[in-house]
Structure 1
Amino acid sequence: MESQIQQIHQQLVDKKISCVDLIQEKLNALKENTHNTVNALLSEFALEKAINVDAKIANGETIGLLEGIPFGVKDVYMLQGTYATASSDLLKNYKSPYTATAIQKLLNAGAIPIVKENCDSFGHGSSSENTIFGAVKNAVNPELVGGGSSGGSAVNVAKDYTVFSIGGDTGGSVRQPAGYNNVYGLKPTYGRISRYGLMAYASSTDCVGPLAKSVEDIRIVLNAMSGKDTKDQTTYTSEVIEESSILNATNIKTIGYFKNFIESEAIDAQIKEDFLASIEKIKAKGIQVKELDFFKSDILVSTYYTLAMAETASNLSRLDGTNYGDRIDDKDLKESYAITRSEKFSEETKRRIVGGNQVLSQGFSDEIYLKGLALRDAISENFEKDFEAVDIILSPVTPSTPPKIGDSLKDPLAMYLSDAYTVGFSLGQLPTLTVPQGTQTGLQVTAAKNNDELVLKFANFLKDTI
């Protein structure tokens, strides 16, 4: 698909559409949608911005490529003056006192946020069912989950309610819902985009990530959000990725895939068959394909959740109803803390906090948490060796197809295992992109650290290959 951003930009410049009409059309569609993707519409804010864009065009002023383009924001980002609920009961009345760096950069470029999007509460889930706003329904089949935790963001893009959306990816929360809804979803290299203003889940793997319907739109939005930020010391200066640079993939000679991912008993037979068929089509283009050995998927999942739960227990300790969120008063301060967190957190969030506190507790931290840290280092070293042998790693996004709404809530372990093919790349802090091709839930394209351009380049190559 051609770039929607470029297409709409040209229509605005040529005065074939007005920005106000465009924004109103998207707002109306969001208001009427039945997929539970909306936590809050930003109607007044968005229309005010649209009026300004139309005025600039009427005055003959030049507008930027993103100016007037409507986008969605996962409801874990700060946008000053708007609700930032994290789809949780605890923060359902909380308003952002400031704006996240990534969102501010899009505002500076003239893009217009129109909706705060439904997600798993605090990013805790793989289905967008752990939310006070009702389960997000899949864009293709509303009986199935929308994926998570950025389910609302993925569905809004798939249904054309937004031109692009900004999700958050900790262990696959952009890539998996992108695969479930047949859109592109990028987890950039850790640190390429500032996390300032993103509610922390697991700080060592949290990434800001765009979802869109084309590689070109992913590139445009990635460039707009990237860069060093003094408010986030993990960020670094990155070069702009030019459109021309991702159109030629001749420098990609070798790709690899993890043999144990494909030979796993957990993988759906059709996903396996489709993945191997995609590999054959790539071989037919003259690219060498290598089988790689990697950690077993259950080791990846247990390592990721050990570290992620520990970090979320620490990050959410500030949410006690005193400084943030709704408070339930009881007989004393200690009981007020306890009942507030017990009543206001979702079952999944409480499960992760309890697990994290267990991992960090005396007598367990050396045995479990420190071992998890050592495994993460080993995983990163393994990736470094792999990328000495191949340019790109290709993998399925998920081992199975989207479950029916309600099934994941009955079996949390199955939900964790659905992340088996995404969490390893998060632990390695690598750039990885879901492309809506190759299997029912897409393919995952991964490159070495800071090689985001190569990921987009290969994704473009795949458009005409499979």
Structure 2
Amino acid sequence: MESQIKKLHQQLVSKEISCTDLVQEKLNLLKQNTHNTVNSLLDSMALELASKVDTKIANGEEIGLLEGIPFGIKDVYMVQGTYTTASSDLLKNYKSSYTATAIQKLLDAGAIPLVKENCDSFGHGSSSENTIFGAVKNAINPDLVGGGSSGGSAVNVAKYFTTFSIGGDTGGSIRQPAGYNKVYGLKPTYGRISRYGLMAYASSTDCVGPIAKSIEDIRIVLNIMSGKDVRDQTTFSSEEILEESISNSSTIKTVGYFKNFIESEAISPQIKQDFLATIDKIKAKGIAVKELDFFNADILVSTYYTLAMAETASNLSRLDGTNYGARIEGENLKDTYSITRSEKFSEESKRRIVGGNQVLSQGFSDEIYLKAQNLRDQISTRFSEDFNEVDIILSPVTPANPPKIGDSLNDPLAMYLSDAYTVGFSLGELPTLTIPKGTETGLQITADKKKDEQVLQFANFLNDIL
């Protein structure tokens, strides 16, 4: 099975390349890149770790599969002693005092962090334009957006600047940029990987996940990061996913797709045509395909954004210039809070905070917020019913191709609607993988909760037939 991680591991073990040379080569590419993917380079740390790997190899010691493998980190994860800015003006000089659990597990496995990667500020966006470091440019066409909010992570993997990167997915922020840049991106089952040390956007849907060039690399990284964490009570123990277990898709008998996604006026004719052609190829392999009824895309988007804005308003209330980040003094304490937040939050972040406070306010919470909570329960129930009938749900990642840089900033509503096919699976807490095949922006493979292995199985099947 194709794997950049395994290839580099073999080259390191055989001394075909040195870890220091490998890391320096990637750092040089990141320094020279013109896609605005870098918030800060971790060059000193990376080269020091690489030297230790080279010493182990020279001494004849065994190294682990991830040991010496360079990777990138979306700039919303804490890594002790590094700048963790969330691509925001408020935190542009903030340094982490601890390391996120998921990242620590990769460090413990010997992986080498190279870069904190550009993204939409606090994860607020679907294009990676809402950032103080400049819009991330698409890996294939730099006139187009890189996708968001994990745009820098997806572009770095697509351009081979990193072997894999760790993104964050709240409503599609790994899957959509993976589709835009033709790489693999996984949102695992909610709770499979600890969120401790990830800056919270919407806590009930935030997920840690890998972006890579192959399914096998996704599997390797997922296994390392998974597991229960006492510092995140939503986490659960999960079994290791074996390479052999995802090479056999014979257990998958029925695939479903939501016909209202395909019949939507928002979907581009080409993506619709390509998706239906993929469905025909699946049928030709003897797998039953079933049309499913589901909530309209606009209901999914409005439900998701109601809840996400409410949660982000709550989560970002701690950022007032008192304990974290920049501070602008006013005439009194209330003035200081107001000026700091007004000046230092981006327009999109302020839009979401104001919207969130509105739906949580007295007189509106019953009518809007609790209604959205009720709809979320209905969506989750409907997913459970669907997975009694099908093993896998297949869908386009996005209804349209990536927009040009600048378009999304001028039309926030269009940016929200670009998440129409991803947010529902986030509300359902389901494992979902983008693969760079089937349509111009890829295909999205979803299974029932805790069936991440089945998602990877079907991805390998599609790789073989598409």
How is 1:241-390 mapped onto 2 (pairs within 5 angstroms)?
241-390=241-390
Amino acid at match of 1:420: A
How is 1:29-178 mapped onto 2 (pairs within 5 angstroms)?
29-178=29-178
Residue 330 of structure 1: how far off its partner (Å): 1.0
What is the distance in 2 between the residues matched to 1:284 and 1:246? 21
What is the distance in 1 between the residues matched to 2:287 and 2:109? 38
What is the distance in 2 between the residues matched to 1:263 and 1:278? 16
Residue 2 of structure 1: how far off its partner (Å): 1.3
What is the distance in 2 between the residues matched to 1:382 and 1:401? 28
Identical-pair percentage = 81
What is the distance in 1 between the residues matched to 2:465 and 2:353? 44
Q: Which residue of 1 aligns with 2:20?
A: 20
Residue 342 of structure 1: how far off its partner (Å): 0.3
Q: Which residue of 1 aligns with 2:179?
A: 179
Residue 126 of structure 1: how far off its partner (Å): 0.1
Amino acid at match of 2:339: I
Unaligned runs of 5+ in 1: none
What is the distance in 1 between the residues matched to 2:191 and 2:101? 13
Amino acid at match of 1:343: E
Residue 253 of structure 1: how far off its partner (Å): 0.5
Runs of 4+ in 1 over 3 A off after TM superposition: none
Q: Which residue of 2 aligns with 1:209?
A: 209
Aligned residue pair count? 466
Deviations 1:123-175 (Å, cap 9, x if unpaired)? 00000000000000000000000000000000000000000000000000000
Structure 1 residue 449 and structure 2 residue 442: aligned?
no
Amino acid at match of 2:254: T
Amino acid at match of 1:286: G
Q: Which residue of 2 aligns with 1:191?
A: 191
What is the distance in 2 between the residues matched to 1:324 and 1:305? 26
Residue 240 of structure 1: how far off its partner (Å): 0.2
Q: SS of the counterpart of 2:387?
A: helix
Per the normalisation by structure 1, the TM-score is 1.00
Amino acid at match of 2:40: A
Q: SS of the counterpart of 1:379?
A: helix
What is the distance in 2 between the residues matched to 1:284 and 1:14? 44
How is 1:397-436 mapped onto 2 (pairs within 5 angstroms)?
397-436=397-436
Structure 1 residue 465 and structure 2 residue 465: aligned?
yes
Amino acid at match of 2:60: G
What is the distance in 2 between the residues matched to 1:358 and 1:258? 32
Deviations 1:288-317 (Å, cap 9, x if unpaired)? 000000000000000000000000000000
Residue 252 of structure 1: how far off its partner (Å): 0.4
Q: Which residue of 2 aligns with 1:5?
A: 5
What is the distance in 1 between the residues matched to 2:189 and 2:144? 30
What is the distance in 2 between the residues matched to 1:328 and 1:433? 42
What is the distance in 2 between the residues matched to 1:85 and 1:174? 19
